[in-house]
Amino acid sequence: MVAPVESVRVLVVDDEESIAQLLAGILRNEGHSAEYVTDGRIALNRVRDQRFDLLVTDLRMPELDGMSLIEQAKEIQPDLDALIMTAFASTETAVDALRRGVTDYLSKPFGVSEIREALSKVMESRAQRLTERQQVEALSARVESTEESLEQKLADLTLLHDLARLIAGSTSPLHDALGLIGRHYVADCVAVLEDGRVIDHYGEGGHRGIRDLATRARDQRCTQSMPGAVAVPLAAGALVVMRSFEFSTEELHLLGTVARDVGVAIENDRLRSGQRRAYVGIVATLIEAIEAKDRFNRGHSRRVADLAVRFGCHLGLPERERELLETGAKLHDSGKIGIPEEILNKKGKLTDEEYEVIKSHPVIGEQIILPLEFLAEARPIVRHHHERYDGAGYPDGLVGDEIPRAAAILSIVDAYDALVSDRPYRDGLPPARALQILDEGAGTQWDPDLIREFRAL
Ligand SMILES: [Fe+2]
């Protein structure tokens, strides 16, 4: 007994109209919608116009044979099932037809039970195809999501690994860590706040309300969010990540781990800057001792450092860069430790050879701090504080923007202090006169934009 089948839309094709008509009639009686045509080409047109589930066709027809019709019809409706009817059903014909995507065949003459049986096979094959397709879709969706989450996990692990590495080895662990986090989260800005103050940040995006958000995260000891920002508590503040799109649960979870690393980075940062300050203090004392031997140079480096910090504030430099500028300013003449005193403090005019010796002090200064990794960022300031905007300076003859900005800033402050200080051959110049001299050197010795800013100080 063959199971009853649901209703299907059938197109019957046979050049013998009586057979086509008969078959369509039987199919309708069985509850299906069926129509017939007597020409393969007409059948193709119908397939183009209308959706069918099943095509039942005679194999031998004058204009377009059954197999060609099936092939062309399947190109139009790939889901179409096909049955063939033939009076000459040999085994080879049947096997060939099945291989070419025909579900079953009916041998003429056939009765209602053969038709039912063939239809039942068609429905079974349809159902199986559907199930297989659903399974494949479900499987590929699962593979895709597994791949995605694996990729994400790998990216997360890489982030944690990179964070650990740079926290241990970087000269500015906090700043580098924020950069890494910012890039991982595709954030507009990542900042660490303590007591409502941004102590370091990556990217731009001063967001309204992040101070309150950070304070809330710190006080309540749990993650806080608002549109465009998330704050995770740290020991003494919060890590805030700002971006325009939502954070997933996984991302927020990872942020908790990341915040612990940031805490370590802050500790290491303070340790490094403590070391830096201690070392800079020692070298600065040495420099002051040398400068103290000459009454004209006494206190020069300290004054330059103070003025450089004021100028840095005026220029709106971030705290980190200001601190670097101060360090660079305190150390800028450390190379004078290596210059013979009789040349350094010579009262009369220097010979060419003596002048060459003096000119070596930026490079000697750089060498003094070279072994100290935590002063790496101050090296270019020390080396280049005697470069000139027009390229006529030393030691490298850098031009314009090639000169590190901190070194260009320092060079102005350095010159100003020298101008207003007493020299063996003249008294210190009044500030107005000193500024005038700086102005005359704008565009040749110094960056004209910086000179304009310095005058506005
Ligand atoms: Fe110098």
Res. 3: pLDDT tops 60 = no
Comparison of pLDDT for 137 and 172, the residue scoring more: 137
Do 266 and 280 form a contact (C-beta atoms < 8 A)? no
Rg (CA), the chain: 43
Res. 1: pLDDT tops 70 = no
Say if pTM beats, i.e. exceeds, 0.85. Answer: no
Ligand 1 geometric centre to CA of 343 (Å): 14
Specify the DSSP class assigned to residue 36: E
Ligand 1 geometric centre to CA of 362 (Å): 7
Ligand 1 geometric centre to CA of 333 (Å): 5
**% of the chain at pLDDT higher than 90:** 49
Ligand 1 geometric centre to CA of 373 (Å): 22
pLDDT tens digits, one per residue of 369-400: 888 877 888 999 999 999 999 999 999 999 99
Q: What is the pLDDT of residue 167?
A: 87
Q: What is the pLDDT of residue 148?
A: 82
pLDDT tens digits, one per residue of 64-89: 888 899 999 999 998 899 998 877 66
Res. 160: pLDDT tops 80 = yes
pLDDT tens digits, one per residue of 83-115: 988 776 666 777 777 777 788 888 888 888 888
SS (H, E, C) the chain: CCCCCCCCEEEEECCCHHHHHHHHHHHHHCCCEEEEECCHHHHHHHHHHCCCCEEEEECCCCCCCHHHHHHHHHHHCCCCEEEEEECCCCHHHHHHHHHCCCCEEEECCCCHHHHHHHHHHHHHHHHHHHHHHHHHHHHHHHHHHHHHHHHHHHHHHHHHHHHHHHHHHCCCHHHHHHHHHHHHCCCCEEEEEECCEEEEEEECCCCCCHHHHHHHHHHHCCCEEECCEEEEECCCCEEEEECCCCCCHHHHHHHHHHHHHHHHHHHHHHHHHHHHHHHHHHHHHHHHHHHHCCCCCCCHHHHHHHHHHHHHHHCCCCHHHHHHHHHHHHHCCHHHHHCCHHHHCCCCCCCHHHHHHHHCHHHHHHHHHCCCHHHHHHHHHHHCCCCCCCCCCCCCCCCHHHCCHHHHHHHHHHHHHHHHCCECCECCCCHHHHHHHHHHCECCCECHHHHHHHHCC
Beta bridge mates, 202 = 190
Residue 33 phi, psi (nearest 5): -95, 125
pLDDT tens digits, one per residue of 165-211: 988 888 788 999 999 999 999 999 999 998 888 888 898 866 678 88
Ligand 1 geometric centre to CA of 415 (Å): 9
Going from the N-terminus, what domains does the chain have, and what CATH number goes with each?
9-133 (3.40.50.2300), 153-265 (3.30.450.40), 293-455 (1.10.3210.10)
Mean pLDDT of 205-226: 87
| Dihedral angle over CA of 80, 85, 90, 95, nearest 10 | 10
Q: What is the pLDDT of residue 162?
A: 92
In sign, the C-alpha dihedral spanning 419, 425, 430, 433 is: negative
Ligand 1 geometric centre to CA of 332 (Å): 6
Comparison of pLDDT for 286 and 333, the residue scoring more: 333
Comparison of pLDDT for 414 and 289, the residue scoring more: 414
Task: Examine residue 109 and say whether the peptide bond preceding it is cis (omega within 30 degrees of 0).
Answer: yes
Ligand 1 geometric centre to CA of 270 (Å): 29
Ligand 1 geometric centre to CA of 269 (Å): 29
Q: What is the pLDDT of residue 207?
A: 65
Ligand 1 geometric centre to CA of 275 (Å): 24
Task: Examine residue 395 and say whether the peptide bond preceding it is cis (omega within 30 degrees of 0).
Answer: yes
Q: What is the pLDDT of residue 4?
A: 47
Do 119 and 8 form a contact (C-beta atoms < 8 A)? yes
- What is the C-alpha to C-alpha distance for residues 233 and 276, in angstroms, rounded to an integer? 28
Collect residues with CB below 5 Å from ion ligand 1: 333
Q: How far from chain centre, in Å, is Cα 212?
A: 27
Ligand 1 geometric centre to CA of 79 (Å): 84
Q: How is residue 177 written in tokens? A: 């860590």
Ligand 1 geometric centre to CA of 263 (Å): 38
Ligand 1 geometric centre to CA of 418 (Å): 10
Ligand 1 geometric centre to CA of 170 (Å): 29
Ligand 1 geometric centre to CA of 385 (Å): 6
The whole-chain average pLDDT of the chain stands at 88
pLDDT tens digits, one per residue of 274-292: 887 888 888 788 788 878 7
Comparison of pLDDT for 339 and 448, the residue scoring more: 448
Ligand 1 geometric centre to CA of 361 (Å): 7
Res. 2: pLDDT tops 60 = no
Q: What is the pLDDT of residue 5?
A: 52
Mean pLDDT of 138-161: 87
Q: What is the pLDDT of residue 195?
A: 86
